[in-house]
A and B are shown apart, each in its own frame.
Chain A
Amino acid sequence: MVQHAEDSERQSKTLHRIFVILYLQFAFYWATIAAGMLVNYYYAVPSSLQADFGSILLQFFAAPSLFAHVTFAVLSSGMSIPVIVLARRARLSQVVYLHTGAITARMVGFVTGPLFMYYSTSSVANSELANYSTFIMASVFLTAVILTFMSRIFIVREDVRIKYLVAGPSQPGKQPLAGLGSK
């Protein structure tokens, strides 16, 4: 019984850590969107940009808005890694799959983003493919957001399970499981 309570306590703490990381991830998502809008409205691919990998990579450091957008995109994607580690520890396989899916979606975005720049260079100048690249980038970003949103559903379910089912009948003087409260 004591062992069982300790397991639940540990699980509750792991879930609490996942919640904190998810809050951070959502903040980075929002920052990515805000910086993305800055890029969208105020950044134009310079006509001097060469259509090669090195030049496009260096371009990410040339404009502050672009740098911020990419940095926040990397940070928000990176937040899925600790979530996956913790979810594995908490044996939440759905959360692991959803965040793996989110990272995969973001990887597609990390390809189509530079592709947009490639198609926008003066030597290639294919606005249609540039538009499609942007559209795919934004779509996979949304996919990643939806997947991480969904992951929280399973975390809340687990939280309710350990708080109200594993805890068992209430005993006089006994406190509910520590940790989360209402998430």
Chain B
Amino acid sequence: MRPASLEGEEIGNLGLSGLRLTLKLCYVNFVVYLAIYITGMYLNIFVTSGVNTVSIGDTSNIVHMLGATLNFAFTFIVMMVGFIYGMRKVALFSFGAVVSLVVATIGGLLFLATGGGRGSGSLTLVGGWTMSLLFMLALFLSYYATLKIMRAVRILENVPTR
């Protein structure tokens, strides 16, 4: 059965197996996002509550930062796949996520460098705000990139294009 029209769809030229692999990477990326969210909540609620602070060498913070590094790497790979294999929206959404993650990391480092606690001053809170909001933005952007890849996979699975 042939398609009604593939106009407006971004299939790219990676091929079905490559897209499936990228989709798996996106799913793994979401597991990492989840881990970062949970460690972030743990740090926020159980470590930095009240006047307590967190430092860069704390175990929970190291786990959180390792997660963020993996997150960056996976999102960057998806972005490059989008750019190289002609999936403009995937590339742009992932690019937005990468930029958000970089700025969020700067916010996180600002949070740590200026005291690492809720009572450490307004600059620390600005760091915390930047980190949290941009993390969520990155999550949403990565999600939309994943949906685009998933849509391309579904189309290629169901519609012979050659």
Contact = CB atoms under 8 A, between A and B. Distances in A.
Given A138-B41, A156-B154, A176-B7, A41 B147 contact: no
Q: Which of A146, A149, A182 has the most CB of B within 10 A?
A: A182
Interface string A124-165: 000100010011001100100010010011001101110111
A105 to B, nearest CB: 14
Given A33-B136, A34-B133, A161-B158, A170 B45 contact: no
A170 B150 CA distance: 23
Interface of A is mostly: helix
Interface residues of A, number: 37
Interface string B106-149: 00000000000010000001001100110011001001000110
A26 interface: yes
A164 B3 contact: yes
A174 B158 contact: no
Interface of A: 26, 30, 33-34, 37, 40-41, 127, 131, 134-135, 138-139, 142, 146, 149, 152-153, 156-157, 159-161, 163-165, 167-170, 174-177, 181-183
Interface of B: 1-5, 7-10, 34, 37-38, 41-42, 44-46, 49-50, 89, 118, 125, 128-129, 132-133, 136-137, 140, 143, 147-148, 150-151, 154-155, 158-159
